[in-house]
A and B are shown apart, each in its own frame.
Chain A
Amino acid sequence: MKAAAILIPLLPMTSFIITGLLGKRYFREKSHYLPVAAVAASWLLSMFVIVQVERGETLSWQIYSWIAAGNFNVDVGIQIDQLTAVMLLVVSTVGFMVHVYSIGYMKGDPGYYRFFAYLNLFMFSMYMLVLANNFLLLYVFWEAVGLCSYLLIAFWYPKVSAANAGTKAFLVNRVGDFGFGLGVILIFVTLGTLNYTAVFGHAGDIGTGTLTAITLLLFVGAVGKSAQFPLHVWLPDAMEGPTPVSSLIHAATMVNAGVYMVARSSPLFFESTTTMFIVALVGTFTAIFAASIALVQNDIKKVLAYSTVSQLGFMFAALGVGAWVAGLFHLVAHGFFKGLLFLASGSVIHALGGEQDMRNMGGLKNKIKITYWTFIIGALAIAGFPGLAGFFSKDAILEQVFLGGYWYFWIVAITTSFMTAFYMFRLIFMTFHGEPRDLKAFGHAHESPRVMWVPLVVLAVPSALIGLALGFPPGAGHIDSFLRPVFEEVLGAEHHFGLLEGGLMAFSALIGIVGILAAWRMYVIRPDLPVKTGARFQGAYRVLLNKYWIDEIYFALIINPVRALSRGLWRFVDINIIDGFVNGSALFFRGVGNLFRPAHSGKVQSYLFTMFLGLLVLLAAYWILTL
């Protein structure tokens, strides 16, 4: 188990170094061999680790002491428990499939080797993030995945929009990470240690105020990384990156880091009711907020991006009401079906030669059949169609929100549920059904190569079945018993599945189906309806289309004032005062130098004459003094 645990991150790391150094010159279009092999091996090892954990074996291993300075001790260590195993399942599987898919998607790209090198670096960082056994290590790799995210969003950096999106993601994440960093420091100041076991062991000893401060700061980090309101603005822009990146980093793994971190710190969060309520509030609000934006977006990837933000909101809502297992269950299910949806949307974009606007699509159903059917499975899963993954995971959340007494959150969440089904099937009907709107692109459309559609099929399997496998029967499924040891102290008693729960479940399934039918009516039966509705509710439509002007608000409130201030500082303070001082001192020394310049005539004989005179003066002085 130790060997497997250490090899899981080290294999992608090694591959990153080798591919990064030698790829450009030696591997070129063969650059994917080593990275894919490394990730495949990591996947196998992860499966092995998961099986071991399933058998009840966990691992807590101090590899070496990283920092030992007085009271400040940080180890580099690996901790594997049920929570880690669940994360490994998603990270390794989606990671492996995305690597395979990228062979086809990125074929012929001039940065082919670079892409795989970055992907491997990301896999290493993400594995270390979930394997870490203390907050500092978590923080380090939290930043490392952020770096990889930046590098991959701005992968096509000659494109200005891509470079800007990368910078935006980095800066917005910095806001969250700053909070997270402060939280980690506050933990250390309070408890004198950063080790998970030690910190959680003393969770009860921390005063309520301090604990609320710590958890809120940690949650700020989660809000940034998991793109929750108000720091969600970077994720939709991150779609500028290649689609496999959107699938791996911005849907299935990295954006889940915030959820993972809150779940990992459950003993701390559990103690603070204030924080828990804020987590639930932010989560629920983000869920409906992002879902409403997704209703009107026309870029296929933007719809999926806002959907991701919304689903992450669901997870936080679950964590906030204390439904820890349900939140993680949704994380797993969402990782699979959203990873699938992104890869499938990449396949659509690939088929149409780079077209992302759904208004130019349509009628692709029979042209790209595999993509279509896998897309349907993913969409049904996210819409909560009975039997598929999202049905069990989302209903677990809805049910626990309702049973926890948060009926107001439940109403918001069930509305979001309806919107989710609606916008997903709006996407499908606009893309695959109806008449082709761009005949030229439609004529060239073709199914993606096998290396791209096989990952779709592979990911469709867990998207369809993982709900049944892990979440059935509801509330007492395999994942409940599996994760129970991690959340032993923060989970209430198991509850029975009764008539109320069954009714809730049936109701939310019904809502999902109604959402699908509404989309069917608007986009297939009466294609004139969307335009009419848009015209009728013009105000609301414009608000949604412009994403509530959040970006514009940030520009007006933060970016432009800071820019103006910086410009003022540059024009006045920097140019006049700082530069004046530096240039002034240079001028002073130049003047002094000019005074003595003639002495250096460059003529050796004049130097000699000076020396001779000097000698004579010295001798004369000696003679006078000794007289």
Chain B
Amino acid sequence: MTPLQHYLALATILFFIGAWGMMARRNIIMVIMCIELMLNAVNISLVAFSNYMPSPVPGRGEVFVFFVFGLSAAEAAVGLGIAIALYRLRERLSVDELDGMKG
């Protein structure tokens, strides 16, 4: 059986890739995708922990994952909707140009 550390290492790598992409990418679609990546990294760690619990109760950790799925689906729908609206308005999708809140 694959040790827990391997799963966690994968989750950590995925999470940081997502975090880096979210901060560094300029295209708003890519930013949304990176958020999905981070969420899924967390999902992996949750499933792994669930499986390695001393007396695993089936489905305990997986339930979290399903909630996160539902949430991320909704978030993606809203986020992509905003992206489309922005594109119609400005014909750009670069996050750098969205600095209307500049103080």
Contacts and interface: CB of A to CB of B under 8 A. Distances in A.
A381 B94 CA distance: 95
Nearest to A599: B103
Contacts of A597: 103
B23 A603 contact: no
Nearest to A597: B103
A609 B24 CA distance: 9
Interface string A605-618: 10011001000000
A65 interface: no
B99 A601 contact: yes
Interface string A342-355: 00000000000000
Interface residues of B, number: 13
B96 to A, nearest CB: 6
Interface residues of A, number: 11
Contacts of B54: none
Contacts, number: 31
Contacts of B22: 605, 608
A602 B95 contact: no
B25 to A, nearest CB: 8
A609 B19 CA distance: 9
B70 interface: no
Contact of B98 (A599, A600, A604, A612): A604
A602 B102 contact: yes
A515 B100 CA distance: 88
B23 A612 contact: yes
A600 B96 CA distance: 13
A608 B99 contact: no
Interface in A574-627: 597, 599-605, 608-609, 612
B101 interface: yes
A600 B23 contact: no
Contacts of A604: 95, 98
A612 B19 contact: yes
Contact of A603 (B19, B24, B99): B99
B19 A602 contact: no
A361 B23 CA distance: 93
A600 B99 CA distance: 9
Contacts of A602: 98-103
Contacts of A600: 101-103
A600 B102 CA distance: 5
B1 to A, nearest CB: 30
A355 to B, nearest CB: 68
B82 to A, nearest CB: 12
A141 to B, nearest CB: 57
A605 B95 contact: yes
A604 B95 CA distance: 8
A609 B96 CA distance: 14
A219 B95 CA distance: 79
B35 to A, nearest CB: 10
A602 B98 CA distance: 7
A609 B23 CA distance: 6
Nearest to B24: A605
Interface in B55-103: 95-96, 98-103
A609 B31 CA distance: 13
A603 B96 contact: yes
A482 B26 CA distance: 99
Nearest to B102: A602
B29 to A, nearest CB: 14
B64 to A, nearest CB: 22
B11 to A, nearest CB: 17
A252 B95 CA distance: 80
B103 A603 contact: no
A73 B83 CA distance: 70
7 contacts: A599-B103, A602-B98, A602-B102, A603-B95, A604-B95, A605-B23, A605-B95
The 4 residue pairs across chains A and B that have the minimum distance between CB atoms: A600-B103, A602-B102, A602-B99, A602-B101
